[in-house]
Chains A and B, each alone.
Chain A
Amino acid sequence: EVVLTQSPGTLSLSPGERATLSCRASQSVSSNYLAWYQQKPGQAPRLLIYGASSRATGIPDRFSGSGSGTDFTLAINRLEPEDFAVYYCQLYGSSPIFTFGPGTKVDI
């Protein structure tokens, strides 16, 4: 089973700053299988990025994803107040089919 590690656990930033979130897999994976989600309190997760770098429908271009192999990054340029949330990376695999990372909280 591939294990996902996210860092940092918490990222304290101000509106207008850039956030860089890391997701590391315990072994090399296809970038097709890596997605990122945003979750705000009391809400369901929302798909941001799929295939490591493709933005989902309606996601602002200040969100970008990159990476390959074992190291993937979600960057958020010019943080808006609504971007303060928890971010999860997710991997598609064999068993279990979907695995989520532990999350990074972006707060003010």
Chain B
Amino acid sequence: QVQLVQSGSELKKPGASVKVSCRASGYTFTNYALNWVRQAPGQGPEWMGWINTASGNPTYAPGFTGRFVISMDTSVSTAYLQISTLKAEDTAIYYCARKPFYFYHMDVWGQGTTVTVSS
């Protein structure tokens, strides 16, 4: 079955970096874009950016440039979100979600990865 499986929870200190993975299975990885969505505690989802898995080209939302890097490895059907210089306000659940090309929604979501930034 179609699945996006994310890496486990992370506890990091301010200033550290974290890399979250999202492994796709059950479909052809390069036929769908891969998005990253942040959900801070008690808040709604916020789109961070996506990667065009056919070209490898990432696009970032305003506010998610500089410290945030989206990448992928097609050999293992996996997308990554790396956040550097972590701040307390990066504490959130991070989801990956698949977007069919030529459609305008996200149809399959990962289970989420909790990143906690605390000294």
Contact = CB atoms under 8 A, between A and B. Distances in A.
B47 A99 contact: yes
Interface stretch (B8-16, B23-31, B75-83, B109-117): B109-117
How big is chain A's contact interface, by range?
A: 20 to 34
A103 B109 contact: no
Contact of B95 (A44, A86, A96, A101): A44
B61 A92 contact: no
A18 interface: no
Contact of B107 (A32, A33, A56): A56
A76 interface: no
A46 B109 contact: yes
A96 B45 contact: no
Contacts of B109: 44-47
A100 interface: yes
Interface string B79-119: 00000000000000001010000011111111110000000
A97 B50 contact: yes
Contacts of B62: 95-96
A54 to B, nearest CB: 9
A82 B50 CA distance: 31
Contact of B44 (A35, A46, A50, A102): A102
A90 interface: yes
A92 B105 contact: yes
Nearest to A90: B105
A37 B24 CA distance: 21
B110 A44 contact: yes
A100 B112 CA distance: 17
A27 B112 CA distance: 32
Interface of A: 32-33, 35, 37, 39, 44-47, 50-51, 56-57, 86, 88, 90, 92, 95-103
Listed from nearest, the 10 A-B pairs whose CB atoms lie closest are: A92-B104, A98-B47, A35-B105, A96-B61, A44-B109, A50-B105, A33-B104, A100-B45, A103-B44, A47-B107
